[in-house]
Amino acid sequence: MTGTKTQLYSRQGLWSLFLMCAFPLHFWTLLLAFRDISWLTERSNLWDAIGVVSYGLLFAFVESLMVFLVVALLGLLISTKWEESRRIALLSILMFVLSLWAMYGQAHFVWNLSPSNWVLKLMAQSGHPYRVIFSITFIEVFLSIAVSTFLVLRWDKFFRFMQEAIDRISFLTSLYLVLDLIGLVIVVIRNI
């Protein structure tokens, strides 16, 4: 933590933030796209299956840009009394938390997960199951955001852990971006 005001974002900071936004989006796209390859190949052929994955990567890249823009703008709301690396770490962990919740929401359908019977029974007994679900979800999301924020801003050990994680994830995401480029080439070839 620092008491002096710093610049909003450096070029390196923006790049790191972009990579952190791109990571969960690409991870999820690749996870689902590779699940689809076998049935796509079976119903059509491998080249078409690769085409679908390529479109997936292309859209993931576009989505990454859009999400990055929103996150970067939201980052302007964070006081610049925090040094840039800490603000990037905060925005990154918020991005991860929200992505995890989004993945969790979809995972129920991907892997046919459902809450245990006693939870469903309890909610049904409440008389207002939807209100209960929304309230619980809201509390969970709010708490996860609050805890993440606290950890990054107030606990240096966690902040350093985040910095290390960002470094490693940045490398992985750079590989994803190479895949994006290959996907783009494939999409162009398919549309010539």
Partner 1 sequence: MDAKMNRHLNRRDFLKLAGLLPLGVATPRLVRSLGASRLLQAGKKNVLVVVFDAFSASHLSLNGYQRETMPNLVRLAERAIVYHNHYAGGSFTTAGTASLLTGTLPWTHRAFQLNGIVAEPFVTRNFFSAFQDYYRIAYTHNGVANILLEQISEELDEWVPWKSLFLQSYGESIRNLFEKDSDIFSVGWTRNMNIKQEGYAYSLFLSHLYEALRENQFTDLKKLFPRGLPSTGDIVNDFLLEDAIDWTGNRLTLIPQPFFGYFHFLPPHIPYNTSLEFINRFSHDGFKPVEKPQDIFTEGNPNEKVLKNLIEYDEFLLYVDREFNRLFNYMETSGLLENTWVVFTSDHGEIFERGSIGHSSDALYQAQIRVPLLIFEPGRKTRMDIHTPTCAVDVLPTLSQVNGYNIPDWTEGMVLPPYADASPDQNRSIYVIKANKNEKYAPITHASTALIKGHYKLLYYFGDIERGIDELVKLYDIEADPEELVDLYSSQKDVADELLNELKVKLAEVNRPYM
Among 5, 59, 142, 178, binds partner 1 (CB under 8 A): 59
Nearer to partner 1, 86 or 183 (CB): 183
Within 78-107, the residues that bind partner 1 by CB under 8 A are 99, 102-103, 106-107
Cβ contact 22:176 at 8 Å: yes
At 134, list the tokens: 């929304």
**178 contacts partner 1 (rule: CB under 8 A):** no
Count of CB atoms within 10 A of residue 40's CB?
A: 18
Q: Give, as ranges, the residues between 19 and 48 that touch partner 1 (CB under 8 A).
A: 24-25, 28-29, 32-33, 36, 40, 42-45, 48
When computed from its CA atoms, the radius of gyration of the chain, rounded to whole angstroms, is 20
Direct distance between the N- and C-terminal alpha carbons of the chain, in angstroms, rounded to an integer: 53
The whole-angstrom separation of Cα 81 and Cα 4 is 6
Residues in contact with partner 1 by CB under 8 A are 24-25, 28-29, 32-33, 36, 40, 42-45, 48, 51-52, 54-56, 59-60, 63, 66-67, 99, 102-103, 106-110, 187, 190-192
